[in-house]
Structure 1
């Protein structure tokens, strides 16, 4: 299909152009502030914003991500500028772009997502703290120190020696930024950073305050080609890789985060990394800061209604027009106001939401160690420390071993070992096994996905010693037979076996790990007998206490009437257990009306016993999709064939068929059978009301009638509403139709 070009341009004008203007208003002050925090020329921030918007926006793989100078990279740039100088830093940025381009070409983008988010969030929090501490000195009228620790030590003296006008501008900027979030939504369409800088500039100009002014000094239009860094080439290579990896990871994580905020075309991460690489090459060549995807600008872009990459591209165009045509206005901005903006941004980078997320996965130590190490040691050292701790924690989780022991009344000990058995778990494993009394009969279940030689030797040696002392050990492996293979001297698997669900009672025989033997003419054990043996061995010890209690008396709370279809397992689809359901099963989940022919006492007897002896609180009728009985009813008994008993029984479904024809007869379609199955559930609830005792209890509020419909293919249970309210008389109007029930997960 040929795209409608006119429609595309109208969509761009309607959605992307307004969004680009909003992002532009956010990008200009942030770009200036990040350049200031990076120790680079202020124009470098605007150059990076232009290149990030136009180049990365055009070539990247995301439709809505906005790239530009990132606060998370400012700490690296500061160190590079102080070590190599600005023009050499630009060359490092260019070389980092080449590395990113190659990584994107070789499809390595997904590998960057292997970095623990706790490391990234901890790094960004540390960078935010460092930025806030350093720029706070500027707000107070002084100058920032070389390290975060030095800034913290010098802070009390800086506070004692306040510079009036400069402090006032900084406090005013932070106040506007803080209060702007409380403004009405219509007012907040104007970005807070822009408003704060405008208020600070106008106030300083109106009152003639003595503040430091921002000056681009014509650097927007001046250009000099980057130079190669001088010094140890090992450190230069490490710097290039650090910039490439940090900018790439931040861009890809930002891309993934923004994907969940829009419904447009999904991002291509390798293409995004390639686009970021080209953008960094261009930015470095033009004298700009390193470029990365920025979450603040990207989120603003989505919230402003952007649909395509044109918003990011146009925002870069607007920054370029502003820098060339209106750059002179920047000198009206007080430097202290930019510093205050950076303090505010730095504090926001310590995101409590990130801490809550990593806490839920037990990764707070990684977050804290990364943050403290970055603050105290440096960015590269902090990231490496965080990655090392994350790897150690992952190794600990992968090699964690659990040993559960239980002893029966007859003295038999059941032991279950779960996890990955490696040499790291041997001390715990041997300690637990040696607590088992000598001479005991032991059932040892190995629920493991890996076993190395050290773990095998530990278990095997214990087994030999235990059997030598008169005990017995029966080993059963729920996954691949690691122990058996090792004991036989066979070659072990090179990797962990994929997790497989152990045998479960609810799995069909054909889906079991080791299905019971099928019956044959030679009289081999049938599956039911083998299943009973499996129950005795695995399940009976677990449920014996429950059945011992139930042996005295049953007290079910529900009478559950459902079809005899083999695919319906009441306890499975209702998450119930022994003693919960008093169950009646027949073909078609039918409840013969009182006095109907052919006469049936089986269902009536169950209803009487359940309501008058057991005192159940609920009677549930559960139908299901594709019911063969209802197919027979729908065919007027033709599908029952030469089964006279079945044809007679299906007469009890005539009322369901009549109601179906009455309500759905003019809308017959391919799904008519399932509609009849739902109508049949409603009709059986009506049939229950023909029994006087049932109707009296329903009227008195002592008994509830519930209809369920199990969609087999979707494995979902739907609630089918009754045809009338429970407290209405038998002759009242029936208003509800089949199929309009609620749904719940099965």
Structure 2
């Protein structure tokens, strides 16, 4: 992707033209995704568009990352759909409102950096699991059907839905062909479009082709997007009333708000990290960005519409289109507002199967395990956490999957700082070689002490630390004290004290560099994920 270099304080006259053009591109990318994500969440298409308007006009104005674009995200689709099914669409506004308030408090308390500490394996596992669920549910919608229920049911039901559409020869088959045409167009445009036209987003081209085909072939039997004449009609019915607000004390409602706040924050800040790598301008102010997202979600909650996050596909398009300031994201919200305010009839021309097809393709891109080779460089444990997170999300739900992934990450951390292997080899001349492997920390100090105390008095002990990943001060102190005591028995201890000291200092001093390298890899991988 082309690197963009916005100036620190560019003159409006020198940047507005580029921001204006970039805003058009982002608007065209956002439009089909806003509607498609709304429908996949079980809500009218205008709810996603209103979220996009809030994310553009309001959140972009106070954002901590000026080139990041916020709006409804595929990453929250499954969770929102679950909440709507369990508590009704009328409670969504209350849940999103409190999720936003949680984000505001977290940003005010400067917790933004902590959200970046979520393991990339869990984040990408979450996205992949969401991708599988979106693909499975929207496959049925692409044939003008409805999702069957759970993720497993939707997956198992795919072959039957496909065969029923083929055998039926009715409107469902026609809808499926429109969806297939949309996907083929997206893939073809992404692969073979002239470089000069690459800025025109492939999903939009796919939807336009579907609209033209439906219009000229007279495909009136298939379903089309239903848009109310008044876009605020939904909000007037779904805003949080006093009775709804008091239901936040119910455990299920509160957990829903916390879940949205956590997942939206993690996805937003991961996206911001990826955007930082796409340009050379100002770096993200994470706490400010978290606060801005909280303001946006609070407003979306009051309006009773979809929650928002920072979204990578729109942000990436923004940078690639040459955006220089926050005005590009702001203007894209203005274009969304003008479209639904003055040209709502245009949206009614869009086949529902075309929007579902866009999400089927998006789900496939999210689910494809392209991150596995990167995770493998950090060990098979990271790959296992990724895979288990995906499987748990598909078999249960999004929240359980994320919690399982986080739990496994913590267990891996505990294991890494508590696992120590000690191998003893006895040689001639009363020589004993001790090989240490893993982490020698306070947790394993009794084990190391027992191994040392079991050695014969007067032995010539050689301690090898080449395979030692980390050693803390407590274990260094143990070796030093044991050396003195062992010397009184006529024995000796040979250990590379300078190397041991250097290893301890190097592990501490390079912690930031290793974390930065890990974050860089995760951010680069996230940049390839549509959402």
- Listed as ranges, the gaps of 5+ residues in structure 2 are 1-6, 166-171, 508-531
Superposition pairs for residues 159-178 of structure 1, below 5 Å? Answer: 159-162=162-165, 163-178=172-187
Partner Cα separation in structure 2 for residue 445 and residue 356 of structure 1: 32
Partner Cα separation in structure 1 for residue 358 and residue 49 of structure 2: 16
Q: Aligned to 1:374, which of 380, 387, 393?
A: 393
Provide the residue aligned with 1:265 in structure 2. 282
Q: 2:107 matched to 1:104?
A: yes
Q: Aligned to 1:313, which of 325, 330, 337?
A: 330
Superposition pairs for residues 570-649 of structure 1, below 5 Å? Answer: none
CA-to-aligned-CA distance 1:297-340 (integer Å, 9 cap, x gap): 00000000001000000010011101111111111111111111
1:413 partner SS: strand
Q: 1:498 to 1:78 in 2, by over 3 A?
A: farther
Q: 2:184 matched to 1:184?
A: no
Query: Residues 91 and 285 of structure 1 are in contact (CA less than 8 Å); yes or no, is this contact kept in structure 2?
Result: yes
Superposition pairs for residues 502-513 of structure 1, below 5 Å? Answer: none
Superposed displacement of residue 33, structure 1: 0.6
Q: 2:432 matched to 1:401?
A: no
Partner Cα separation in structure 2 for residue 35 and residue 116 of structure 1: 28
Rg: which structure is higher?
1
Q: 2:237 matched to 1:226?
A: no
Q: 2:222 matched to 1:211?
A: yes
Partner Cα separation in structure 2 for residue 299 and residue 175 of structure 1: 23
Q: 1:125 to 1:92 in 2, by over 3 A?
A: same
Superposed displacement of residue 122, structure 1: 0.2
Q: Aligned to 1:441, which of 445, 457, 460?
A: 460
Provide the residue aligned with 1:421 in structure 2. 441
CA-to-aligned-CA distance 1:693-734 (integer Å, 9 cap, x gap): xxxxxxxxxxxxxxxxxxxxxxxxxxxxxxxxxxxxxxxxxx
1:290 partner SS: coil
Provide the residue aligned with 2:524 in structure 1. none
Provide the residue aligned with 2:264 in structure 1. 247
Q: 1:92 to 1:430 in 2, by over 3 A?
A: same
Provide the residue aligned with 1:89 in structure 2. 92
CA-to-aligned-CA distance 1:176-212 (integer Å, 9 cap, x gap): 0111112221122211111111111110111112210
Partner Cα separation in structure 1 for residue 311 and residue 302 of structure 2: 21
> TM-score normalised to the size of structure 2?
0.82
Provide the residue aligned with 1:585 in structure 2. none
Q: 1:433 to 1:213 in 2, by over 3 A?
A: farther
Q: 1:501 to 1:380 in 2, by over 3 A?
A: closer
Q: 2:361 matched to 1:344?
A: yes
Superposition pairs for residues 450-529 of structure 1, below 5 Å? Answer: 450-451=473-474, 472-474=491-493, 478=497, 499-500=504-505
Report which structure shows greater RCO (CA 8 Å, sep ≥6).
Answer: 2
Q: 1:472 to 1:95 in 2, by over 3 A?
A: same
Superposed displacement of residue 18, structure 1: 0.3
Q: Aligned to 1:73, which of 66, 71, 76?
A: 76
More helix by share: 2
Superposed displacement of residue 45, structure 1: 0.3
Partner Cα separation in structure 2 for residue 478 and residue 158 of structure 1: 68
2:232 partner SS: coil
Q: 1:383 to 1:471 in 2, by over 3 A?
A: farther
- Listed as ranges, the gaps of 5+ residues in structure 1 are 483-496, 503-746
Partner Cα separation in structure 2 for residue 382 and residue 432 of structure 1: 43
Partner Cα separation in structure 2 for residue 316 and residue 365 of structure 1: 40
Partner Cα separation in structure 1 for residue 327 and residue 364 of structure 2: 31
Provide the residue aligned with 1:325 in structure 2. 342
Partner Cα separation in structure 1 for residue 457 and residue 14 of structure 2: 80
2:371 partner SS: helix
Partner Cα separation in structure 2 for residue 423 and residue 189 of structure 1: 55
Superposition pairs for residues 526-537 of structure 1, below 5 Å? Answer: none
1:296 partner SS: helix
CA-to-aligned-CA distance 1:94-145 (integer Å, 9 cap, x gap): 1111111111111110011111111011001000110000010112342211
Provide the residue aligned with 1:199 in structure 2. 209
Q: 1:286 to 1:449 in 2, by over 3 A?
A: same
RMSD of Structure 2 on Structure 1 (CA): 3.3
Superposed displacement of residue 432, structure 1: 9.8
Partner Cα separation in structure 2 for residue 480 and residue 263 of structure 1: 39
Superposed displacement of residue 372, structure 1: 0.8
Provide the residue aligned with 1:237 in structure 2. 254
Query: Residues 445 and 474 of structure 2 are in contact (CA less than 8 Å); yes or no, is this contact kept in structure 1?
Result: no
Partner Cα separation in structure 1 for residue 13 and residue 300 of structure 2: 31
Q: 2:383 matched to 1:364?
A: yes
Superposed displacement of residue 452, structure 1: 7.5
Provide the residue aligned with 2:116 in structure 1. 113
Q: 1:15 to 1:406 in 2, by over 3 A?
A: farther
Provide the residue aligned with 2:304 in structure 1. 287
For these two proteins, the number of residue pairs brought into alignment is 479
CA-to-aligned-CA distance 1:231-285 (integer Å, 9 cap, x gap): 8612221111111111111111111110011122222111111111111111111
Partner Cα separation in structure 2 for residue 356 and residue 18 of structure 1: 36
Query: Residues 422 and 434 of structure 2 are in contact (CA less than 8 Å); yes or no, is this contact kept in structure 1?
Result: yes
1:212 partner SS: coil
Partner Cα separation in structure 2 for residue 433 and residue 201 of structure 1: 80
Q: 1:353 to 1:11 in 2, by over 3 A?
A: farther
Provide the residue aligned with 1:383 in structure 2. 402
Partner Cα separation in structure 1 for residue 293 and residue 503 of structure 2: 37
Higher mean displacement: 250-259 or 398-407: 398-407
Query: Residues 96 and 241 of structure 1 are in contact (CA less than 8 Å); yes or no, is this contact kept in structure 2?
Result: yes
Query: Residues 423 and 452 of structure 1 are in contact (CA less than 8 Å); yes or no, is this contact kept in structure 2?
Result: no
Partner Cα separation in structure 2 for residue 5 and residue 399 of structure 1: 47
Provide the residue aligned with 2:4 in structure 1. none
Provide the residue aligned with 1:128 in structure 2. 131
Superposed displacement of residue 11, structure 1: 2.3
Provide the residue aligned with 1:655 in structure 2. none
Query: Residues 66 and 294 of structure 1 are in contact (CA less than 8 Å); yes or no, is this contact kept in structure 2?
Result: yes
Superposition pairs for residues 20-39 of structure 1, below 5 Å? Answer: 20-39=23-42
Q: 1:6 to 1:154 in 2, by over 3 A?
A: closer
Partner Cα separation in structure 1 for residue 387 and residue 251 of structure 2: 29
1:417 partner SS: strand
